[in-house]
Amino acid sequence: MESISVFDIFKIGVGPSSSHTMGPWRAAQAFMGVLREQGSFDKAHRITTDLFGSLAKTGLGHGTDIAIMLGLSGDDPVTCDTATINPRIDAMKEAHRLRLAGSRGIDFDYDRDIVFHMSEALPFHPNGVRFTATLEGGGAVTETYYSVGGGFIVQEGETVTGSRAITLPHPVGRGADLSRWCRSLGKTIPEIVMANELAWRSEAEVRSGLLTIWRTMTECMYRGCHTDGILPGGLNVTRRAAMMNRKLLQGSGSSGRCEYDDLDGWLEMVRYSTRDFQQVLRWVSTFALAVNEENAAFGRVVTAPTNGAAGVISAVLMYAWCFCRSMSGGIGEQGIIDFMLTAGEIGSLFKKGATISAAMGGCQAEIGVSSAMAAAGLAQVLGATPGQAMMAAEIAMEHHLGMTCDPIGGLVQIPCIERNTMGAIKAITAAHIALESDPTKAKVSLDGVIKTMWETALDMQSKYKETSEGGLAVNISVSVSEC
């Protein structure tokens, strides 16, 4: 059984897509590692990248080509300066040069060296990328990778090794396993998950890492709530989160003034701005829009479990932090940690039993999974039993089954951005329903809905799986002038 950490599910990176941006980026970095291991790095004088399947069909809209160039150049999605991405890409194209892993220059011709195979897919997964390094003096090194969703990559022919092969004290492959561990040990879901996380790192490191993830989420929401303008890509989508943020704060009793100096000041203003249901509802949508507008603009986001669905968990966790204040001032840092441990475990169950790749399962694999994760996390911090938390996840996914992935122009904008608001609201509803329910009387189990989701994915036509060949992508007339 593959061991998946919560930090595999929640990763800091760059938009707009975990499978089409983050995955290829990591694959390019991995290929640089292969060249070094084989002693071929200093001999490589040309790198050719071949993109297959969904990576080819929607690669331009998802920035796959940009991710490849940055990955080959040694940039890392966690630390790179997102403000300089576009000018750096333009400079590489104009100079016809790449600096491999940031250390040695080679000739590079964008039109020649990145090839989009629109009508060809590799057998293992729709998201295939093949790198070929031509060596001085003859010979070549070729490796194939698959971006399998959520920023995870698989090298062709690899076996599960390293951190993914660690034996955990409480191995969980299905919801039934998680339920059994909770029941037999008398522990909550986050307690079981924390015990497993200790196989990789100390408790202090887990806590610190999760709080860093949360801080990155809030920074992303803050940027999205304070940035106006038009999203890149040619659809001319207007950013809305900043306008909504201003309206909500001006109507919160602050005499028309929105006075704060930084992220923490904004958080405090939002947190105490309202208890009115309609206003809270608007805030949840604002949070989700803010994250995915940032994602669409190549901003720094947290993959949760994917970039296209990054706004769901951020919005629901922010909802809990700001507005669930029945527990002496809010959920607090422990609540954030418990939420993320619970949500991360639910995400790993979907990855093991189905998929978190829209190219394999449609949008149910992204928004649906993120909504299930958020529902379980919220239920947990609101006092749910393990059974109720898993029931919340099941309810949320049950009402995303069959959702297609049909991005207009191959961009993670329409309908992707608004779908995050819907996933967040469904998660909140699912959590509150589960909290008022007896899980022993549920007709559908979490394992049952995961199995159903996978069977639905297998039945779904490929044109509804992130190819932009069906649905809204072909029925809405738009002119994409730039990708």
Q: Which tens digits make up the pLDDT trace of 16-43?
A: 999 999 999 999 999 999 999 999 999 9
Instruction: List CB contacts of 369: < 8 A, sequence separation 6 or more.
Output: 305, 306, 309, 347, 350, 356, 397
> Does residue 320 contact residue 287 with C-beta atoms inside 8 Å?
no
Phi and psi at residue 47, to the nearest 5°? -120, 125
Polymer length of the chain:
483
Q: Reduced to 3 states, what is the DSSP secondary structure of residue 232?
A: coil
What is the per-residue pLDDT for 2?
82
pLDDT value at 466 more than 50: yes
CA-CA distances (angstroms) from residue 45 to 39, 41, 42, 391? 14, 9, 8, 55
- Retrieve residue 360's tokens: 């394999």
How far apart, in whole angstroms, are the C-alpha atoms of residue 93 and residue 378? 46
> Does residue 325 contact residue 434 with C-beta atoms inside 8 Å?
no
What is the per-residue pLDDT for 330?
64
What is the per-residue pLDDT for 165?
77
What is the per-residue pLDDT for 329?
53
Nearest to 249 by CA among 235, 265, 231: 265
What is the per-residue pLDDT for 258?
63
Question: 256 pLDDT band (50/70/90 cuts)?
Answer: very low
- Retrieve residue 169's tokens: 């004290």
Bridge pairing between strands 44-53 and 114-117 = parallel
pLDDT value at 286 more than 70: yes
Question: 225 pLDDT band (50/70/90 cuts)?
Answer: very high
Question: 476 pLDDT band (50/70/90 cuts)?
Answer: confident
DSSP code, position 412: S
Angle at 361 between CA 358 and CA 366, to 5 degrees: 45
Neighbours of 85 (CB within 10 A): 19
DSSP H or E run through 300: strand 300-303
Q: Check: pTM over 0.85? Answer yes or no.
A: yes
- Retrieve residue 466's tokens: 């992130």
What is the per-residue pLDDT for 479?
57
Q: What would the DSSP string read from start to end of 347-402? A: HHHHHHHS-S-HHHH-GGGTHHHHHHHHHHHHHHHTT--HHHHHHHHHHHHHTTTT
Q: What is the mean pLDDT of the chain?
A: 94
What is the per-residue pLDDT for 459?
97
Q: Which tens digits make up the pLDDT trace of 43-78?
A: 999 999 999 999 999 999 999 999 999 999 999 999
What is the per-residue pLDDT for 327?
47
- Is 79 buried (19+), middle (13-18) or exposed (0-12) by CB count in 10 A? exposed
Q: Reduced to 3 states, what is the DSSP secondary structure of residue 210?
A: helix
Question: 481 pLDDT band (50/70/90 cuts)?
Answer: very low
Q: Which tens digits make up the pLDDT trace of 344-355?
A: 999 999 999 999
pLDDT value at 221 more than 90: yes
- Retrieve residue 433's tokens: 């329903």
Q: HEC profile for 67-112?
A: HHHHHHCCCCCCCCCHHHHHHHHHHHHHHCEEEECCCEEEECCHHH
Say which amino acid occupies 432: H
pLDDT value at 326 more than 70: no
What is the per-residue pLDDT for 29?
97
Q: Which tens digits make up the pLDDT trace of 108-166?
A: 999 999 999 999 999 999 999 999 999 999 999 999 999 999 999 999 987 655 667 78
- Average pLDDT for residues 186-202, to the nearest whole number? 98
pLDDT value at 254 more than 70: no
Q: Which tens digits make up the pLDDT trace of 71-110?
A: 999 999 999 999 999 999 999 999 999 999 999 999 999 9
| Residue reference for tokens 């890149």 | 232
Nearest to 330 by CA among 341, 340, 319, 338: 319
What is the per-residue pLDDT for 325?
66
| Residue reference for tokens 């297998």 | 458
